[in-house]
């Protein structure tokens, strides 16, 4: 039996107009592109959406556009509502519940060195704010520190907390979590090594590069579930090839350039995010044109 919300999700990106403001029209075009890729659903308003650089009103608008566009698609929608301010998180969470989202997720509160007790209190308040299942988040690369195992277990035990998005290379810690709380839902967040976590029995993935290679990740997960290691390794190698090229440009600017190469205009990444090379579009055009990658494009 599958666990709540399990499956493969694109960490949906945000679309901006030529002036850097949220564009509902461009967001709809991106939504349609990603929804065609055979994934379980969309993870809306997370780091891949540049949420830390967006106004709350823009994130509320994005939630509404995605909910409207997903009608009839069968896609499961998870709204990321994490913000340093609990008040902003609660506003986003209640709006997602009103719009009919299937679940919530949230980074731990960031921007300040919050204590373990403050982080626990944040998640307790957020979990109680709606009836939606909540996916919490371990992501040391974003928060600056890993959360202690006992704290994560305490958070997973909160009412309404269904599971965790685990974006860390500490796979032993992941194993300990799964052993101690086997009924929770576990998502893995590093696209380029999904197979490693898949072999440990995670329940799905949530990733940035799923926006463009969703078909690949759906097939990779299917190979993992079927025990087809040879196919899984081959597909993971394609993912790693794409990510290696992406890192030369910068993840979010590079993703926007790669989407542009596929005919989906999302605007530029919001400052201070910027491409690491001058010819980002040419680099990503060449990357997505490679036969190994082109065959998987959404």
d(C-alpha 9, C-alpha 218), whole Å: 9
pLDDT score, position 1: 58
d(C-alpha 12, C-alpha 141), whole Å: 19
CA angle 44, 248, 142 (to 5 degrees): 45
Assign 277 to helix, strand or coil.
coil
Domains of the chain and any CATH numbers? 7-228 (3.20.20.70)
Catalytic residues: 137, 165
Ranges of the chain whose pLDDT falls below 70 = 1, 298
d(C-alpha 162, C-alpha 130), whole Å: 13
Dihedral sign for Cα 255, 257, 263, 268, please.
positive
pLDDT score, position 2: 81
Per-residue HEC secondary structure of 77-143 comes to: EEEECCCCCHHHHHHHHHHHHHHCCCEEECCCCCCCCCCHHHHHHHHHHHHHHCCCCEEEEECHHHH
Query: For 133-164, what is each residue's pLDDT tens digit?
Result: 999 999 999 898 999 999 999 999 999 999 99
């Amino acid at each position: 039996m599958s666990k709540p919300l399990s499956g493969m999700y694109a960490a949906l990106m945000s679309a901006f107009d030529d002036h850097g403001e949220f564009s509902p029209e461009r967001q709809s075009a991106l939504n349609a592109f990603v929804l065609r890729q055979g994934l379980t659903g969309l993870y809306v308003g997370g780091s891949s959406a540049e949420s830390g650089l967006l106004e709350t009103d823009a994130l509320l608008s994005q939630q509404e556009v995605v909910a409207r566009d997903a009608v009839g698609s069968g896609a499961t929608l998870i709204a990321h509502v994490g913000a340093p301010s609990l008040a902003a998180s609660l506003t986003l969470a209640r709006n997602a519940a009103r719009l009919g989202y299937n679940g919530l997720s949230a980074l731990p509160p960031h921007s300040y060195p919050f204590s373990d007790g403050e982080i626990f209190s944040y998640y307790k308040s957020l979990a109680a704010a709606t009836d939606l299942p909540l996916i919490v988040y371990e992501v040391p690369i974003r928060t600056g520190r890993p959360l202690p195992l006992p704290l994560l277990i305490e958070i997973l035990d909160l009412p309404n907390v269904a599971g965790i998005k685990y974006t860390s290379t500490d796979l032993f810690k992941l194993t300990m979590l799964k052993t101690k709380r086997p009924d929770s839902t576990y998502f893995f967040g590093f696209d380029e090594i999904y197979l490693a976590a898949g072999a440990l029995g995670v329940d799905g993935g949530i990733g940035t590069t799923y926006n463009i290679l969703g078909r690949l990740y759906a097939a990779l997960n299917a190979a993992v579930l079927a025990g087809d290691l040879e196919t899984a390794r081959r597909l993971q190698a394609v993912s790693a090839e794409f990510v290696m090229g992406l890192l030369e440009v910068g993840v979010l600017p590079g993703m926007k350039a790669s989407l542009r190469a596929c005919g989906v205009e999302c605007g530029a990444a919001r400052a201070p995010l910027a491409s690491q090379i001058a010819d980002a579009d040419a680099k990503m055009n060449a990357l997505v044109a490679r036969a190994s990658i082109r065959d998987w494009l959404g």
